[in-house]
Structure 1
Amino acid sequence: MKIEDYELLLKLHEVGTVRGTAKIVLISQPAVTQRLKYMEDYFNKQLFIRTSKSLVPTPAGELILTHARKVVDQEEAIKSALAQSSGEVQGTLSIACSSLISQRFLPSILGEYTQTFPKVEIDLVTGISEDIKREFKNYHICIIRGEKLKEAVSKLLFEDPLYIFDTEPFPDNQMKERPLISFKSDDSMHDQVDNWLYHHQDNIKTIKKISVDQIETCKQFMQEGLGMAVLPESVSGPLMDKYPHVPLQLDGQPVTRKTWICYQEGVRSLPQVDRFIVGIEQTAFL
């Protein structure tokens, strides 16, 4: 068994489907199925039960998944130890990052980082901050939005002001009734928007909600006149001069989304991690 086989096994368990795993690891679905069959033949055990919705580990599969996690962790540990012992920055850098930050800022940050440290392998996972928080111990670094991670070292990178946009004006001293378009985010974002709307219910009334997956879809729906959308400044710069908008404020203070970089104590002893943290802390985000 190769380390890549164990990594694929863990990814199958994490994602729960062959099709979803194939999309993430960027190989064909038949190739994933073939490699899973090889692993089952190797151990002479069925590793997963194929249900209509997901892959469920068998008792033998659970044992082998535990073994796979140990093998992968030990591989990462020895790579990190070798990176520490040498004078060169190398090894693996694992990052879990908020989808918005990974799309808007991370490409340029990682581009500069990998150019400076070409021997570092990047292991990147993106998603919603709430999901990342639950798995933070599996990564060197987490970049999250909303509330900081209390179980780790958390440093504020920047605060992202929120604005409400529409194709129709926001009239003074007059009720505005429009649909509200929202994108998939963590609960803290929705709580901030709901709280602001509650304190401005004399001016703005949402007559229905339209929910979409991606923030880009949310922006496009707003531009097509389907309703209002609350967007952070980091992704709405080009919209400022084209569409009516109002900054979200409470008690005269802007409502913002905080972005944090979080990591466990001691992880900065790894050169590849420390250099990344130093670089991202020097980044001007807005």
Structure 2
Amino acid sequence: MKLEDYQLLVHLHHYKTIRATARNVLISQPAVTQRLKYIEEYLGAEVFIRTSKGLVLTPEGEVVLEHACALLASETQLYNQLLRKKETVSGTLSLGVSSLVSQHYLPHILQRYTTTYPDVKIDLVTGASAEIKYTARDYHVTIVRGEPLKGYKCHGLFDDPLYLFDTVKLDGRSERPFIEFKTDADYQKLVEEWMLQQNKIKYRRTMKVDQFETAKQLMVTGLGMTVLPKSIVADELWDLPHLPLYINGQPMNRKTWVCFYEETSDLPQVKAFIHLLTSDSWRGGNDA
């Protein structure tokens, strides 16, 4: 069996279904099914059984998965040890980055990093912060919003004030549609707390969209109000009616963190990337 086969077993156990595994590792469902069939035939044992709740390890599968995890960990340890002995910064840098950061900051960050360290290969996954946090163990470095990751070393990158935007005056005289977007629980909790405490703005919850950018575009066309973090507000939007969100007299902020394991932070490519982020030199013309 190849290392990729052991990694596939770990992914199947993590994502619980063949469909979810195929979607997240970018392999077709038939290919995943065929590979799992080959693995089980090779081992002469059934690794998973299919249930209404997804894939469940058999007793034999538990032994196989434990071996797979140990083998992959040993391989990673060997690879990291070899990298530490190299004088040049090279190897692979695996990143899990929140969608907002990846859209508005990451291109500039990676441009600076890859220009300085052209021998490093970037392995990048982007998504909602909740998704990145859930799979954080798969990356050298994660950049997430909201709460920092427990068990990781985390540095705050910037605070992102929240604002309510609309195309009409925010005077509370008329009820306005409120445009929500799918987000993680931390952000949803912030907005919900503000809604419960404020009594000036009248709203009705009529729309829920997939992400910040969609909510912003709907707001700009006059379809309702929405809450946006400062980092995604273009200069022209500041001409629209807006107000900062406060709770208990304090401005509401969403914090962005860079998190990593202590034991892998001394890898040359990881150390260089963390230094770039924590030195603030990546900001350039960006105003967080």
What is the TM-score normalised by the length of structure 2? 0.85
Alignment partners' CA distance in 2, 1:6 and 1:122: 22
Q: 1:228 deviation in Å?
A: 1.7
Q: Does 1:129 align with 2:126?
A: no
Which deviations, in whole Å up to 9, do the C-alpha atoms of 1:64-107 show, x marking residues without a partner?
22221212221111111101011121233232322221232223
Distance 1:118 1:102 in 2: 20
- Post-superposition offset of 1:230: 0.6
Contact 2:193 2:247 in 1 (8 A): no
Alpha-carbon separation, structure 1, partners of 2:19 and 2:111: 30
Residue 8 (structure 1) aligns with: 8
Q: 1:59 to 1:123 in 2, by over 3 A?
A: farther
- The residue aligned with 1:271 is 268
> 1:187 corresponds to which residue?
185
Q: State whether structure 2 residue 74 is matched by structure 1 residue 113.
A: no
Query: Structure 2 matches for 1:138-177, cutoff 5 A?
Result: 138-149=138-149, 151-171=151-171, 174-177=172-175
After superposition, residues 175-254 of structure 1 pair within 5 angstroms as 175-201=173-199, 203-208=200-205, 210-237=207-234, 240-241=237-238, 243-250=240-247, 253-254=250-251
Of residues 215-224 and 39-48 in structure 1, the stretch that sits farther from structure 2 once superposed is 215-224
**Using the alignment, how far apart are the partners of 1:20 and 1:157 within structure 2?**
32
Secondary structure of the 2:87 match is: coil
Name the SS of the counterpart of 2:36 in structure 1: helix
In structure 2, give the amino acid aligned to 1:181. Answer: I
Q: Distance in 2 between matches of 1:56 and 1:223?
A: 47
Give a deviation string over 1:88-144, Cα, whole Å, max 9, x none.
212332323222212322233234423433443434343443454455455322212
Q: CA 1:18 to 1:108, structure 2 compared with 1: closer, same or farther past 3 Å?
A: farther
Q: Compared with structure 1, are the counterparts of its residues 66 and 238 closer, same or farther at alpha carbon in structure 2 (3 Å cutoff)? A: farther
Q: Gaps (5+ residues) in structure 1? A: none
TM-score (norm 1): 0.86
Question: 1:217 & 1:182 partners in 2: Cα distance?
Answer: 10
Q: Residue in 1 aligned with 2:18?
A: 18
SS state at 1:227 partner = coil
Report the Cα distance in structure 2 between the residues aligned to 1:278 and 1:250, rounded to whole angstroms. Answer: 34
The one-letter amino acid paired with 1:19 is R
62-71 or 192-201, which deviates more? 192-201
Is the 1:79–1:91 Cα contact (8 Å) retained in structure 2?
A: no
Deviations 1:193-226 (A, max 9, x none): 223233321x113322533332223223333444
Taking a change above 3 Å as real, the CA distance of residues 76 and 146 of structure 1, as seen in their structure-2 partners, is: same
Distance 1:243 1:88 in 2: 50
Q: Could you say what secondary structure the match of 1:179 adopts?
A: strand
Structure 1 partner of 2:282 = 283
CA–CA separation in structure 2 for the residues paired with 1:33 and 1:239: 50
CA spacing shift, 1:111–1:207, aligned 2, 3 Å: same
Answer yes or no: is the 8 Å Cα contact 1:18–1:32 preserved in 2.
Answer: yes
Q: Is the 8 A contact 2:108 2:282 kept in 1?
A: no
Taking a change above 3 Å as real, the CA distance of residues 91 and 258 of structure 1, as seen in their structure-2 partners, is same
Instruction: Please name the residue that 1:58 is paired with.
Output: 58
Query: Between the two proteins, what is the percent identity of the paired residues?
Result: 48
CA contact (8 A) 2:245 2:252 kept: yes
Question: How many equivalent residue pairs?
Answer: 283
SS in structure 2 at match of 1:204: coil
Residues 221, 52 of structure 1: alpha-carbon distance in 2 compared, 3 angstrom cutoff: farther
Q: Is the 8 A contact 2:229 2:254 kept in 1?
A: yes
Identify which range, 76-85 or 247-256, moves more after superposition.
247-256
CA distance in 2, matches of 1:50, 1:150: 32
Indicate yes or no: 2:254 matched with 1:257: yes
Distance 1:157 1:220 in 2: 27
